[in-house]
Structure 1
Amino acid sequence: MLKKFKGKYFNGISSASLEASVKFINSNNEICFQTENGDLFFWDISDIQFDSYHNLIEIRNKKNLDAILKIEDENFIRKFYQVLKRNKALNLHTRLTNLSFTKISIISICILSLISLMYFYALPRISDQLVSLLPDSFDNQLGEIVMDTYIFESSIDTEKTKYLQQFASELNLENTKPLKFSVVKSDEINAFALPNGQIVIYTGILKGMKSYDALVALIGHEVAHVNKRHSIKGLCRDISGYMIISLIFSDINGIMSILIENAHHLKSLSYSREFEDEADKYGLKILIKNNVNPNGIIELFEQLEKVDNSNNMEFIQTHPLTENRKKNIKKIISESVYEIKTNNNLTSIFKKLQN
């Protein structure tokens, strides 16, 4: 015998309701109900629309949306959802709202985990792929904007800039684009590379160096940031949300506009551990290739570690110095084959840079 449920039927014409006896028939493919005045209705499951309010459900037929069947019965509601699910007529929202607290918690944890995975792993890689869409000419444009905006002519030490350019010309840096060097008159311990091949070194970091080995290491490190487009990649990662939206609409000009608007971040951009490790290894490679003592990079690390004034540590803020970086490089040096040759030209120029 089919179970019957009690409900109230509103015909959409009168505001008064009629008592109704409701049941599922035809293998649960239809809802059948009879009102107190004897009217009999058959509503196909595929024609049904409904709203639920805790223990109350309001059912309508798409063929007559003015009429409403209201049922306040937990057993009917449970049966109703089972019928809808069996007939694949239950939408996602309804399924979710009827899940238990435990299931909702599990789904929430899974969604949060997926978002975290996307943020920490997928987005950086997608952002790096976006960089390949940008032409090298854009790197040049962005670097020039930063130089024109933040490096004033009066702050450039023209004589030492000339010496630094000479120093770099003595080295095989394996650079992928022309490099231009500048020395800024400042006690600040800082150096940075811009995507256009501009490398800026402050007198504050030069004065603290004990040998030209450390300067070669620093230059090699900064050249890596240029060659690997680390500044552009880092900026893309920082604004990856905007970048993804532009990519979806295939708006490369939009991507370039966003980057230009955020160009001021380039000078103070903090490189990731991944980028710093890559630049350390490249700097070490340059030392070995030019027959310079590879421990020059260790000397550079030790110089930076001795600086106590945190307000004067923009280089450390943008190039995070960790114990692991130093340990990793020491390990690579111990496993490397190299030959050290004194370079008198580098020695001479380095002395001029320190005066």
Structure 2
Amino acid sequence: MTTISKSIFYDGQSSVPKTIDLFFDSNKGQFTFQIESKSSVNEEQESFPVVTETYTWLISAIVFEDRSTTLFLQHGEDPIQTIKITDAVLIATINQFRKTSGQLNWYQTLLQKPLKFHVFLALFLLAIVGLSYVYILPWVAEKSVVLIPESYDDTLGETFVDENSLLGDSQIEKSKILNDFAAGLQLSNKKKLKFKVIDSEIMNAYALPDGTIVVYTGILKEMKSYDELVGLIGHEAAHVNNRHSMKMLCRNLSGYLFISTVLGDVNGVMAVLGDNVNTLQSLSFSREFEKEADEEGFVIVTKNHVNPKGMVTLFQRLEKEHSIDMPEFLSTHPMTKDRIQTIKTMIASKNHNVQENMTLKMLFEKLQK
């Protein structure tokens, strides 16, 4: 089938356009048109007749450029000749041929879609961006922790301690007792753990990336038995063992860390983390990390022959006695009823041998004074 349309031809040598009748043969995949031109003048100023030249362009040798309602065809190299087509029917015929023959790229195919399709595509891409920001970016940022050497955990933890007063005075004697208490436990730790007791009514405890575990006297006073303290220490030790603080810090800063991670810029990642070291104290762990800390904490408690019920009794008491003003520990370590029930299920389903430890009991009583 042949389609004909008025078009504009530029020969690449003159700026003067010429109107042509452009024929497109969709069976052969080629364009044909004619150009009339006068020959040069001889020495006697005698003019030669007008010459009509016929041009044939194969579609496979043409570079196409779509501009809104106009299609440009470019052919040759030196000079580059151009045909400008504004006929919508001819443009549609050409694009259909290119699509059928596989010569229309994905972008050009997309431009041919109706407005409804573009609106739907825009909404779809917006949804993808939103989901990526909420789910994919935090996941990528968390995985970037493997790029950070564990030695940087020590630097970050030490920086935090240097820059913060820990919201209270350090209790040197009680810190020594708590370190002695922890030394009597098998905590499955690869990193050395250091315990600091801070004199404050704040009911909280948290682990820093360098292995420092801060425990406030406010939460120590809430405890009724040493097995509750073992449960707390086991839980916090599990956070250190799994680098949960670093992972959550990376998640919270995922927007900043994404580009650095993609580029493999480890120094950039560490710089961003260092600038936000003060947020370590108020990190709220995800359910996934809390579940992991619960499970590993349970293993630590039972391995030390301590009653695992201490893991839940403290949390239940905190939740019950401070239901209006939620203790800091429950806000940074969200203890839902489901999680408490999960710990109870582990206690009921797994065998454990409980043996009273008089040394731990004595040290715990010293901490209570």
Coarse TM-score class (shorter-chain normalised): 0.7 to 0.9
Aligned-residue identity in percent: 40
1:131 alignment partner in structure 2: 145
CA distance in 2, matches of 1:287, 1:134: 30
Give the AA of the match of 1:318. Answer: T
Change (3 A) 1:323 1:5: farther
CA displacement at 1:160 relative to structure 2 = 1.9
CA displacement at 1:283 relative to structure 2 = 1.7
CA distance in 2, matches of 1:316, 1:62: 74
2:43 alignment partner in structure 1: none
Change (3 A) 1:281 1:65: farther
2:319 alignment partner in structure 1: 305
1:21 alignment partner in structure 2: 21
Name which of structure 1's ranges 121-130 and 147-156 shifts more when overlaid on structure 2: 121-130
1:2 alignment partner in structure 2: 2
Give the AA of the match of 1:209. Answer: M
8 Å contact 2:141–2:261 — kept in the other structure? Answer: no
Corresponding position: 1:201 with 2:215: yes
CA displacement at 1:206 relative to structure 2 = 1.3
Give the AA of the match of 1:316. Answer: L
CA distance in 2, matches of 1:264, 1:281: 28
Change (3 A) 1:182 1:112: same
1:32 alignment partner in structure 2: 32
Corresponding position: 1:48 with 2:63: yes
- Secondary structure of the residue aligned to 2:197 is strand
Higher Rg: 2
2:356 alignment partner in structure 1: 342
CA offset digits 1:267-300 (Å, max 9, x no partner): 2222111110010112222222222221111112
CA displacement at 1:242 relative to structure 2 = 4.6
Say what the alpha-carbon RMSD is for the aligned residues.
3.0
8 Å contact 2:166–2:198 — kept in the other structure? Answer: no
8 Å contact 2:63–2:73 — kept in the other structure? Answer: yes
Name which of structure 1's ranges 112-121 and 239-248 shifts more when overlaid on structure 2: 112-121
8 Å contact 1:29–1:87 — kept in the other structure? Answer: no
Name which of structure 1's ranges 182-191 and 118-127 shifts more when overlaid on structure 2: 118-127
CA distance in 1, matches of 2:353, 2:75: 87
Give the AA of the match of 1:47. Answer: I
- Secondary structure of the residue aligned to 2:6 is strand
CA distance in 2, matches of 1:101, 1:51: 17
CA displacement at 1:354 relative to structure 2 = 2.4
Q: Where in structure 1 are there 5+ consecutive unaligned residues?
A: none
CA distance in 1, matches of 2:218, 2:26: 87
CA distance in 2, matches of 1:43, 1:242: 52
CA displacement at 1:228 relative to structure 2 = 0.7
8 Å contact 1:235–1:259 — kept in the other structure? Answer: yes
Aligned with residue 226 of structure 1, among 230, 233, 240 = 240
8 Å contact 1:182–1:200 — kept in the other structure? Answer: yes
**TM-score, normalized by length of structure 1?**
0.86
8 Å contact 1:30–1:42 — kept in the other structure? Answer: yes
CA displacement at 1:78 relative to structure 2 = 1.3
Give the AA of the match of 1:260. Answer: G
**TM-score, normalized by length of structure 2?**
0.83
CA displacement at 1:124 relative to structure 2 = 5.0
1:217 alignment partner in structure 2: 231
Give the AA of the match of 1:177. Answer: K
CA offset digits 1:98-118 (Å, max 9, x no partner): 223454456556645655665
Aligned with residue 331 of structure 1, among 345, 349, 358 = 345
What are the equivalent positions in structure 2 for 1:234-313 lying under 5 Å apart? 234-306=248-320, 307-308=322-323, 310=325, 313=327
1:57 alignment partner in structure 2: 71
8 Å contact 2:189–2:241 — kept in the other structure? Answer: yes
CA distance in 1, matches of 2:330, 2:113: 50
CA distance in 1, matches of 2:278, 2:168: 20
CA distance in 2, matches of 1:301, 1:33: 87
CA distance in 2, matches of 1:65, 1:147: 72
CA distance in 2, matches of 1:73, 1:133: 57
- Secondary structure of the residue aligned to 2:147 is coil
8 Å contact 2:187–2:300 — kept in the other structure? Answer: yes
8 Å contact 2:62–2:73 — kept in the other structure? Answer: no
8 Å contact 2:5–2:90 — kept in the other structure? Answer: yes
CA distance in 2, matches of 1:238, 1:167: 33
8 Å contact 2:167–2:200 — kept in the other structure? Answer: no
- Secondary structure of the residue aligned to 1:267 is helix
Aligned with residue 99 of structure 2, among 85, 90, 93 = 85
Corresponding position: 1:179 with 2:193: yes
Aligned length: 353
